[in-house]
Amino acid sequence: MNPVDEIKSRLDIVDVVSGYISLNQTGGNLKARCPFHNEKTPSFMVSREKQIWHCFGCGKGGDIISFVQEYEGVDFKEAIRILAERANVTLSNMSFEKKEDYSRLYEINQTAAKFYQNILNQDDPISHKAMKYLQEARKIKKANIDKWELGLSGESWDGLYRYLISEGYKDDDVFKAGLVVKRKDGSGYVDRFRKRLMFPIFDTQGKIVAFTSRTLAGIVYDEEEQGGKYINSPQTVIYDKSKTLYGWHFAKDMVRKKKYLIVVEGNMDVIAAHQAETTNVVAVSGTALTLDHLKLIKRYSNNVILAFDSDQAGLLTSFRAFKNIRLGWEQDMNFKVLLLPAGKDPADVIKEDKSKWLEAIAKSLPLVDYYQKKIMAAIDKNRADHKKIAAQKLLYVIKFLQSEVEQEHYIRKLSDELKISIETLKSEFAKIKTSEDIPSYKNIPLEEKSKKDNIILLSEQLLAIAFFKPSYLEKMIEEIEPDLLEESLRSLYSQTIIYYTKHHSLPDFSNNDELSSQDKKEWIRLSLLGEENYAEASEKDIDNDWHNLSNRVRYYYLDSQKQALIKELRQAELSNDANSQDKLAHEINLLNKEIHKLQS
């Protein structure tokens, strides 16, 4: 048995899913409000028998692995690792495990965090000062200091290094973890962080992958600042700042619940916000919001509020920042800006008055409104050259909005502000060419729903009954050819016939290697649709539906053939082809008889 099959055999999907969300028994299945979109009526279903899940609201579904992928925001490999750890399954034989095992680096970071925590909690004057700064100056409660595993790096040049070596870790691994640097003379290593407040940085699973440090010069130590106010761990094999959001592992569930994320600049801002019970807050780690950040965020919400102080907010107008915001717009993400008083960051506002922080969140401006406010404040509206610059800058931004309604709204607003006609602005708008330097984000697929015509609905309902009741699958195989069904479902139906004819059951059908990913997704959806619709139905009701549906799908199939023949007959009449006319008329007559039988 391969590791994936072993994981599935050891773990019950109901146990795994219920570890994330609350499931309620309904008939033979379990239901919940979908964790992947916001809804009032539960449409998320889990089948213990088939070990699958599906949401009829947003259309997502799959097996135990895909659920963890979606909920945790990780790829297939990481989902397998998470489940393997839970199931106590070794992954050494899996092909993707050929890459180096980095568990040692995670251990080293966790050990370092404990080392720094112990120093912060020591009974000595320096540790007392550092703790006093956190609790009194920054108003961080001891429970939150412990929750975020804050620590203190000591005065020794190599205290952490010597401790880690004494714990059995190798020089090379400690260096790879980014915790030490080589001495200039090449004689050994010294600690990267000294005399600093330490903030562990966690990955999406809550594992420590790096550290941010803040100087304590002038706070705890009576000395000049050296090395910068903040120093971060370098990029390592387990830490990439362009993919990491500080506090994400604590924030992600509330982001999904509240339907928006707040992004701040500093780690202390995140901790203060969470302490103020706004737990849908994260921070970027010394970088702008990146494409990888957006991919992660979008799994949980389309709405982002950017909360920066007045100095940092100006950076939003930079090309680099706008480039990534534009990528988010392409995926229907919405951005707002939360403006704070000059010289104050979120932590300052929260410390002074939590209600002002909440008020600022409520009053956050849509990003284009912020751009307009910022640009208008910098120009003289009585000068034509200033109006020209303002129009150019704002029209360029508006060009990237995906909705024509939004574009029209902001062009009209700009017309009112600049006292320039809408026609003139629209003329200028049409001339704008978007920069080719900005990459497209359109390769990330979005699930789209379209209206299904009758044949699609009938085909789906027939398959739903057949997957729910194997006896009807046998009827379907005997009575309904794949060509009768909607074209997009024929492949799934054909694979079902082959598999069922060979195995005489479907419990492991989703593990069939011959199934395409789309067919597997459809099988899961339709299986749970059958259970949703017929779990509590009588046998008579199911049988009545079956006969009605099968007759109707035959009718639509025969009628479509008839319409095609009628078109051919008209062509034959135009061509004066008597032989074809007679043949086609005969075929149409036969179809009419079959249709009449179905209708009688």
List, as one string, the DSSP characters of 30-74. Answer: EEE--TTS--SS--EEEETTTTEEEETTT--EE-HHHHHHHHHT-
Residue 439 is predicted with a pLDDT of: 35
Distances (CA, A) of 111 to 117, 165, 178, 337: 10, 11, 13, 38
- 114-155 pLDDT per residue, tens: 999 999 999 999 999 999 999 999 999 999 999 999 999 999
Q: 423 and 278 in one domain?
A: yes
Structural element, H or E, at residue 289: none
On whether residue 427 sits in a domain, the answer given is: yes
Q: Which amino acid is at 594?
A: E
Distances (CA, A) of 265 to 184, 366, 508: 33, 19, 49
Q: What pLDDT does residue 309 have? A: 61
From 66, 98, 130, give the residue that closes a domain: 98
In angstroms, the CA 15 to CA 539 distance is 31
Query: Is 436 within the bounds of a domain?
Result: no
Asked, for residue 443, whether it belongs to a domain, the answer is: no
Whose CA is closest to 401, among 375, 443, 434?
434
Verify that 228 and 251 share a domain, yes or no: no
Query: Euclidean distance between the first and final Cα of the chain, in Å?
Result: 54
Q: What is the count of structural domains for the chain?
A: 4
In angstroms, what CA-CA distances link 468 with 22, 88, 258, 315?
Answer: 25, 33, 36, 56
CATH number for 116: 3.90.980.10
Q: Supply the CATH number for residue 55's domain.
A: 3.90.580.10
- The DSSP secondary-structure symbol of 399 reads H
Q: Can you tell me the distance from the alpha carbon of 554 to that of 407, in angstroms, rounded to the nearest whole number?
A: 48
In a domain, 513, yes or no: yes
What's this model's pTM, rounded to 2 decimal places? 0.64
The continuous run of DSSP H or E covering 230 comes out as strand 230-232
Examine the domain organization and report whether 155 and 224 are in the same domain: yes
**203 and 291 together in one domain:** no
Phi then psi dihedrals of residue 308, to 5 deg: -125, 160
Paired strand residues for 231: 213
Instruction: List the one residue out of 452, 451, 526 whose CA is nearest residue 495.
Output: 526
The secondary structure of 324-393 as a DSSP string is HHHHHHHTT-EEEEEE--TT--HHHHHHH-HHHHHHHHHTPEEHHHHHHHHHHTTS-TT-HHHHHHHHHH
Residue with token string 């495990």: 97
Q: Are residues 191 and 263 in the same domain?
A: no
The span from the CA of 191 to the CA of 550, in Å, is 74
Residue 237 lies in a domain: no
Q: Is there a single domain that holds both residue 311 and residue 411?
A: yes
In a domain, 444, yes or no: no
Cβ–Cβ contacts within 10 Å for residue 23, how many? 20
**Span 467-517, pLDDT tens digits:** 888 888 888 888 888 888 888 888 888 888 888 887 777 767 777 777 788
Range of the domain at 128: 103-232
Task: Give the residue from 70, 85, 71 showing the smallest Cα distance to 3.
Answer: 85
DSSP string, 437-468: TSPP-TTS---------HHHHHHHHHHHHHHH
Is there a single domain that holds both residue 85 and residue 115? no
- Give the residues of the chain that fall short of pLDDT 70: 1, 27-28, 92-100, 286, 309-323, 434-453, 507, 599-600
Contact of 167 with 111, CB cutoff 8 Å: yes
Q: Which amino acid is at 78?
A: E
363 and 259 fall within a common domain:
yes
CA distances from 416 to 105, 265, 404 (A): 58, 34, 18
Residues 195 and 267 in one domain: no
Question: 162: closest CA among 211, 213, 115?
Answer: 115
Among 232, 259, 279, where does a domain finish? 232
Question: What confidence score (pLDDT) does residue 172 get?
Answer: 92
Contact 390, 418 (CB under 8 A): yes
Give, to the nearest 10 degrees, the angle between helix 539-574 and helix 454-468: 150
Residues 389 and 418 in one domain: yes
> 390 and 250, same structural domain?
yes
Pair 369, 227 in one domain: no
Task: Give the domain CATH number at 403.
Answer: 3.40.1360.10
